[in-house]
Structure 1
């Protein structure tokens, strides 16, 4: 999903110009469901990586 928050997008583009997407990936840590949240540039650069409990994509 593309980043629509203009202020945040400006900050991300300071790190790397171009298109940035917000990513939600679900997975497991042991037997616990977790969701990874981060912003990713077209080249694969990652910003603001977070691990949250539970799944976001259900």
Structure 2
């Protein structure tokens, strides 16, 4: 039986993602993180919500 660490490693190898900086959802998330870092939490929440509803 595999250890929990082996299971996590296997899982993480299966879920690799690529982030395209031209993707509008990625752009909104990046803007949200920048707003959050700058202390603009209300703006950050709005940007994250927009990213969550965009398809």
Q: The TM-score by the shorter chain falls in which range?
A: under 0.3
TM-score (normalised: structure 1): 0.24
Greater gyration radius: 2
Higher strand share: 1
Higher helix share: 2
